[in-house]
Amino acid sequence: LLCTATMYLYSVTLQKAGGIQKAVYGSFSAPKVQEIVVSRGKSLEVFTTDGEGRLISLYYTEVFGTILSLSTFRLTGGNRDYIIVGSDSGKITILMYEREKATFVKIHQETFGKSGSRRIVPGSYLTCDPRGRAVLISAIEKQKFVYVLNRDGAANLTISSPLEAHKSHTITFDVVGMDVDYENPCFACLELDYSEVDEDATGEAAASVEKQITYYELDLGLNHVVRKATLAVERSAHALYAVPGGGDGPGGVLVCSEGLISYMNINHDAVAAPIPRREQVGDASLRPPVIVTGALHKQKKMFFFLLQTDVGDLMKVTLDYEKNKVSRVKIAYFDTVPIASSICVLRSGYLFVAAEFSNHCLFQFRSIGEDEMDLSRAREVKDLGTVVPFYSPRPWENISLADEIESLSPVTKMELTDVQGGSGKGLICLCGRGARSSIRVLQYGMGITEMAVSDMPGNPSSVWTVKTSARAEHDDYIVVSFVGATLVLSIGERVEEVTDSGLLLSSSTLAVGRLGDDALVQVHPHGIRHVRSDRRINDWKAPGRQQVSHASLTSTQVVLCMTGGDVLYFELDVSGQLLEVERVEGLGEVQALSLSPVDEGRKRAKFMAVAVGSIVRVLSLDPQNTMETVASQGLSENAQSLCFLPAGGLMYLYIGLGSGILIRSTIDKITGALSDNRTRLIGARGIRLRELRLNGESAFAALSSKTWVGYSYQRRVQLAPLAYTPVEDVSSFSSPDCPEGIVAVAGNTLRILSIDRLGEVLHQTAFPLDYTPRSFVRISGTSLIAIIEADHNAIASTVTDTDEMPKSVFGVVPGGKGKWGSRIRVMDLDKGVTVQCFALANNEAAVSLCISAFADRPGEQFLVVGAASDMVLQPRSCSSGFLYLYRINGSQGIEIVHKTAIDGIPSALASFKGRLLVGVGKLLRIYDGGKKKLLKKSENKFFPNLITSISVRGERIYVSDVAEAFHLVRYKKSDNALVIFADCTHPRWTTSSTLLDYDSIGAVDKFGNFFVSRLDAKLSEELDEDPTGARIKWEYGTLNGAQYKMDDVINFHMGETSCALVRGSLQAGGDEAIITAGVMGTIGAFIPFLTASDYKLFQSLEMHMRQENPPLLGRDHLAYRSSYFPVKGTIDGDMVETFLSLSPERQRDIADSLDRSVSELQKKIEDMRNRIL
């Protein structure tokens, strides 16, 4: 309902944030288990590593607030770590992670101040005493609180009332808990006292003020905090790292400043060492390095720091000391990794790097490096007055890459378009910064890695994998069925054909599996072959002229459906013989059959599902009522396949129909009754269901025109397609090289596949770029896109990239202040190759582009690129601006036509009626085509700020500036004038926008707000029908604004700055939505409600969820979503979806209060998400 008078939207997250703000590690779920907890700004996620060195996501949750700080602590004598979080809720929160329940448990939550991100309310800095006795939480300015942590009589964690450690006129830069063994806890704070600066009007005090380290000691006996000492430090000091104390080290802190690392402690002289510098061209080597993050690794009688500089180089820092006396700080180059926001050194031998931008990395240590640098290249540096070691970066020696987590952060622009030759919809995103930039194509579906492809002697119809022993860790055979034949392949170092498996090879196979502990069973059209562990073979032949049409089996049961309509049930007896237990005759022609999974602790499946005609029956396999019908369900058409899936404590029966509709019914685990039917169209042809194992749990594949996978992920059932070509059949696959994969048959090939990451519904394909991408356009009628890239402090055309030293890790050559590197790139998106690439000379930077046509050149398309020479961002200026005009030659690329000089930065471009609209600073101009340059035809000088975007629809021009939201403009041809006739009532720092209809604009701003502004429809119609234009006069505006105002009909705080916004549907036939992309890599959607009654229902449900399941960190949900403007017309789908994770009792209570059933509410929630995915 994007074009109606009343608009209601449903906000939902499609893909969680990829960027990481802070990462900590510890043993959160159990002793000696290494886990990582990361903060993504407004969410928390828990990771662990598997045996193959891959990062596995264990749990993800939205906190509906802003996380400001994150730390861990362990109580004295404890074996598990707690998580402590500072946020904008004005509360300090202590969490414990429970892996069995896959959730964070709130242990304590103490209120100390107002909510919101305020500079004098604590939360920005957080640190714990290394012995787990106290925690200090600090604000940016003035306030600090210390909490004492202890245990009560039942050994439960307790927290004291806060102890104040305030100091007025003081700015805090960093805090750290010092290791003082079991003496009174002590905290070191890096501070700056500006009390004298406020009183000095000359500014001399501001230039001479010193930074200090202040030591705050918590006296456990007197229960108060005192300032123990204050030490002066370098003015450029910015970070502190605690040095192990007690019996592990000398104690004290490392102070990081520009080009220098100093050891400091109370009653100890400062010991400093220069940070080694990277050899770089020009003056770059003279710039002192700055430490951006670091980590401590401590073992018995040994510790070292890994500190990262602002170019990504890791420095190993060690100390020479005797008792508590430090004599020397040693710094050595370790290796180079992407610039990080956090790094964690795990005890299991891994280094986790949470990259500042783009993908995150998990490295494995190969060695711990050298303690000292080679001084052969050392030389004196004037700014330090000492000798500094120099080095050149080299390929990794001490670490090797083990795994990588994809991250879109940050997304700078996004478009929704057809990809892969028009075969599907996709999001094209510009991501990253600098040398870690990329353009990524996102499509709905889980990513697949193709491990191997082998040709088969024919077209297989089915495939299975089987273990020959219950104790086997991996599969032993792949069984492939053809028409009239079966092929058996052994799994080892190589996959090769075997003929001695005992299975019947001269017939096609209907089912195969392990029977008992170490026997095999094969069902074929003429009977059953039972291969015993000692290779004895027992055959059972089908009676008379009957044949087996369908079969299903477990490790102790076999069920056959015969062509005459009989159903036979076999069980394995204690002697290992397969015996017929029950027979049902005349049931009818069976289309599908499935046995339920065997529950833990049981030997047999409890139920069997049979599809006969348009009816699905559930039969009991209990010995007391074997093969009795306990439930039935009528269908609109015949079923083609059946499959059971246990998930989240429930049992589901999936039914695949010939029309491509998948039905899910909940089956009672005691009685077998069917209820709560859900339907979903997943393809254009009949569905074939196959059982799988994913992440160690039951799953299934639904094979149609696409291959879909259903699985349980973090206690929720997920259904998502694979980003892969359709296949005929699949089965689980496990081998030493691929512990958890899928084997599939497609055409005449056998394929071994691996799902990249469960839980991700958007598959990424990335193509690297050289500089930060600024914008792009799709060249219509081709698969080409034009991209502009530009970076400050970069030298044009000097990007180096090798396999051993990729530029994404080692960076590009810095050019110095005021130097720009920029390119215009034409890329074939389908092939992923660059067709053309032009480097801009004369220190020019490309800032905007568009596709345009000109009236004097009919039938031709042009690419217009706006560039600025010697551009300065603050204050914004340039020596000259330029408009490049390129002719588009179809799939051949582009060629230059001419270049037009202008007197400002061309920050926005748009095509308008055979002319070109250009935003030059605060000016809006119209240019017409010319033979040698573009010709200026009209200009409006009355915009208040820099113009950032221009959109056109019909006669109306929509202009966005940097701080005042939108201006509606009309071109009066008779006066050759651009006239502003409407603008917005609220100032907005708009970052991206999209037109929803002629009168409505959806947009996002830099503070994380989404809004829709609309011009009254009646007024809009009157203005359009005014032939004289007399009503459109900017002179009659009030308060320096336009005469008419737009109203905000939607307001919603997303909690994350968004730079990209598009309108469209993600799949053919799907509903339209407004799709957003944030700087942290979150992909979200605003889905319009179809009826007002649905909106009212979800509004009531959202209100109940605020009360029944309040945000984890204590932020008021309504206040959070109304951080800048009161939330209006939007339901928070992420909050509503937490209903699905509540206990059944709480779900029933909420449903009863809404006069609805639980299943009805669940279906409503799932249907809202399914409308777009």
DSSP 397-414: SSEEEEEEE---PSEEEE
C-alpha span between 442 and 2 (Å, rounded): 25
Tell me how far apart the alpha carbons of residues 490 and 498 are, in angstroms, rounded to a whole number.
Answer: 6
CA distance 82 to 70: 11
SS3 204: helix
Per-residue pLDDT, 1033: 55
The type of residue at 1100 is: S
DSSP 49-81: E-TTS-EEEEEEEE-SS-EEEEEEE--TT-SS-
Residue type present at position 297: H
| Residues 326, 331, 332, 335, CA torsion sign | positive
CA distance 1064 to 426: 10
pLDDT tens by residue, 713-750:
887 888 999 988 999 999 999 988 888 899 999 999 99
Q: What percent of the chain has pLDDT over 90?
A: 71
State yes or no: pLDDT of 1034 exceeds 60.
no
In terms of DSSP bridges, do strands 390-391 and 386-388 run parallel, antiparallel, or are they unpaired?
unpaired
Predicted confidence (pLDDT) at residue 284 exceeds the cutoff of 70 = no
Q: How many CA atoms does the CB half-sphere of 53 hold within 13 Å? A: 15
- Which residues make beta-bridge pairs with 775? 788
Residue 470 corresponds to which amino acid?
A
pLDDT per residue over 663-675, tens digit each?
Answer: 999 999 999 999 9
Amino acid 952: pLDDT: 95
Residue in this structure with the two tokens 């070109």, named with its chain if needed: 916
Q: Cα–Cα distance between 463 and 749 in angstroms, integer?
A: 11
> Who contacts 1129 (Cβ-Cβ below 8 Å, separation ≥6)?
6, 7, 8, 9, 1012, 1049, 1050, 1051
Positive or negative: CA dihedral 1141, 1143, 1146, 1147? positive
Rounded CA-CA distance 933/824 in Å is 20
pLDDT digits (tens, 9 = 90+) for 617-659: 999 999 888 899 999 999 999 999 999 999 878 899 999 999 9
pLDDT tens, 853-911? Answer: 998 888 899 999 999 999 999 889 999 999 999 999 988 999 999 999 999 999 999 99
Beta bridge partners of 219: 224
Q: Strand 302-309 relative to strand 313-322: parallel, antiparallel, unpaired?
A: antiparallel
Tokens of 206: 């501001």
Burial 721-741 (b: 16+ CB within 10 A, else e): bbbbeebbbbbbbbbeebebb
Strand partners, 73: 82
User: Which of 16-20, 391-395, 1007-1011 is predicted least confidently?
Assistant: 391-395
Average pLDDT estimate for 201-227: 89
d(CA 743, CA 481): 13
Distance in angstroms between the alpha carbons of the first and the last residue of the chain: 18
Report the SS3 class of residue 1148.
Answer: helix
**Residue whose tokens read 């080892």:** 492
> E-assigned strands of 258-410?
260-265, 268-274, 277-278, 291-299, 302-309, 313-322, 325-336, 340-345, 350-355, 360-365, 379-381, 386-388, 390-391, 399-405
**Cα(1008)–Cα(994) distance, integer angstroms:** 16
Q: Which of 205, 971, 1159 is CA-nearest to residue 1150?
A: 1159
Which DSSP state fits 1128? Answer: B
pLDDT digits (tens, 9 = 90+) for 318-333: 999 998 899 999 999 9
Token digits of residue 906: 């061309």
The pLDDT confidence band at residue 198, using thresholds 50, 70 and 90, is: confident
Confidence of residue 802 (pLDDT cuts 50, 70, 90): low
State the pLDDT confidence band at 1038, using cuts at 50, 70 and 90: low
CB 172 within 8 A of CB 159: no
Look at residue 166 and tell me whether its pLDDT is greater than 90: yes
**Is the pTM for the entire model greater than 0.85?**
yes
Give residue-wise pLDDT tens across range 1094-1142.
999 999 999 999 999 999 999 999 999 999 999 999 999 999 999 999 9
Q: How far apart, in whole angstroms, are the C-alpha atoms of residue 997 and residue 954?
A: 11
Can you list the pairs that 1001-1007 forms with residues at least 24 positions away whose Cβ atoms lie under 8 Å?
A: 1001/951, 1001/958, 1001/966, 1001/1046, 1002/1050, 1002/1061, 1002/1063, 1002/1074, 1002/1086, 1003/960, 1003/965, 1003/966, 1003/1061, 1004/1054, 1004/1057, 1004/1058, 1004/1059, 1004/1061, 1004/1076, 1006/1057, 1007/1057, 1007/1123, 1007/1124
pLDDT at 392 over 90: no
- The CA-CA-CA angle for residues 15, 426, 769, to 5°, reads 85
3-state helix, strand, coil in the chain (%, to 5): 10, 50, 40
Confidence of residue 1086 (pLDDT cuts 50, 70, 90): very high
Burial of 471 per CB tally in 10 Å (0-12, 13-18, 19+): exposed
Residue 707, judged by CB atoms within 10 A of its CB (0-12, 13-18, 19+), counts as buried
**pLDDT 10s digits, 226-260:** 999 999 999 999 999 999 998 889 999 999 999 99
Mean pLDDT of the chain: 91
| Per-residue CA distances from 901 to 694, 906, 935 (Å) | 60, 10, 11
Query: Has residue 3 got a pLDDT over 60?
Result: no
Nearest to 1008 by CA among 1111, 1077, 1088, 961: 1077
Asked if omega into 410 is within 30° of 0 (cis), the reply is: yes
List helix spans (H) across 78-142. none
869, 844 contact by CB (below 8 A):
yes
How far apart are the C-alpha atoms of 513 and 542, rounded to whole Å? 19
* Beta strands at 224-233 and 211-219: parallel, antiparallel or unpaired: antiparallel
The pLDDT value given to residue 696: 85
Task: State how far the Cα of 917 lies from the Cα of 951, in Å rounded to an integer.
Answer: 9
